[in-house]
Amino acid sequence: MLRRCLVLCLVVLFVLVPGSQALAKGSNAERIRAELAGLHKQLMEVKSAAEAQLLQARMAVLIQELERDPEVQRNLAELKARLDAKVKAKIAHDLANNDRLPWSTKTVGKPGPATGGAGSAVGTALLPEGESVVVASTVRWDLLRRGDIMHVNNKKFFNLYALYYSHSGIYDGANLVYDSNVDGVRLRPLSDWQQGQPVALGYNNRRTYSERVAALDWAKARYGTDGSTPYNWNFLDKQTDSALYCSQLVWKTNLHLGDDLDSNDPDYAWFLFIRYGLVGLAFAYYAVAPDEIYLSPLVTYYSVGTG
């Protein structure tokens, strides 16, 4: 109900507030958003990666054109600054309060340990309360446990909707990741994620390790590990079990525990509105993007870096 109210409020804002209407009124911006809306609809109906890639390539060109508009640039810059501040505060808090890092207790007015483990470079991040914590600047793959949530920005299918991450999965142990890609839901090598791209590692903070593992095992039994559950090209239909995209799989696995990791973050919804208009708001509510899980307060991150 709260999420429905959020979307309704944003629509009302769009209709009533002159500044928000200006986002869609410019003739060129309006034309671009109209074409993006049509392409977005086609994207939800594709049946192959090749079709999706062609549509996304055209959408990327249009987005670049749209973001050359000074008003769009200004709104995106303000939004990005707000989201970056929110993310910085969340990650600093998470790094100081988790069950993996040896210094994961808050320390007021003093830094954490001088090292972050073998091979880890470290730096100091400032917490909102003025507390400081030392954070690893490289990905702590050694801290992964089964059931952990993983994000990567691999510039693939969710890239058009991504501010931070475009792909999500769940660690299954033994250097394997359970995720969904163009060939369906499968177990894939961890090395696919270790390509020097932005990565975030975390876990559902409402559940114990055994509960997270049980949810993962439930998902593997329900959706398979060999591609028998195909990729879901209709991102708006996150409720279906017959096909799954990457973040939908992560969302479903945790929803089995009773935990909704789809944050429906209002700033992320506003980002999609700036880019796609009302189509973006529909996406923010009905889909579950990697960034929406990344922004969830129910996920604690213990490693964010480039891996």
Residue 98 confidence (pLDDT): 92
Residue 25 is predicted with a pLDDT of 46
Of 302, 191, 204, which Cα lies nearest the Cα of 258? 204
pLDDT digits (tens, 9 = 90+) for 41-68: 898 888 888 888 898 889 889 999 998 9
pLDDT recorded at residue 45: 87
Which ranges of the chain would DSSP assign to H, the alpha helix?
A: 2-16, 18-25, 27-43, 49-66, 70-96, 209-223, 246-255, 266-276, 278-286, 290-294
pLDDT at 303: 95
Q: Which residues of the chain have pLDDT under 50?
A: 4, 7-8, 10-26, 105-136
What pLDDT is stored for residue 104 in this prediction? 61
Query: 166: exposed, middle or buried (C-beta count within 10 Å: 0-12, 13-18, 19+)?
Result: buried
Q: Which two tokens stand for residue 99?
A: 């069950």
pLDDT score at 15: 35
User: Which pLDDT belongs to residue 96?
Assistant: 92
**What's the pTM?**
0.82
CA distances from residue 240 to 227, 246, 247, 248, 251 in whole angstroms, order as listed:
16, 13, 13, 9, 12
End-to-end CA distance of the chain: give it in Å, rounded.
Answer: 38
Note the pLDDT of residue 181.
Answer: 94
Q: What pLDDT is attached to residue 12? A: 42
- Amino acid 209: pLDDT: 97
Q: What's residue 103's pLDDT?
A: 67
Tokens for 2? 């709260």
Domains and CATH numbers, the chain: 2-306 (3.90.1720.10)
Residue 50 burial class via C-beta count within 10 angstroms: exposed 0-12, middle 13-18, buried 19 and up: exposed
How far apart, in whole angstroms, are the C-alpha atoms of residue 57 and residue 39?
Answer: 10
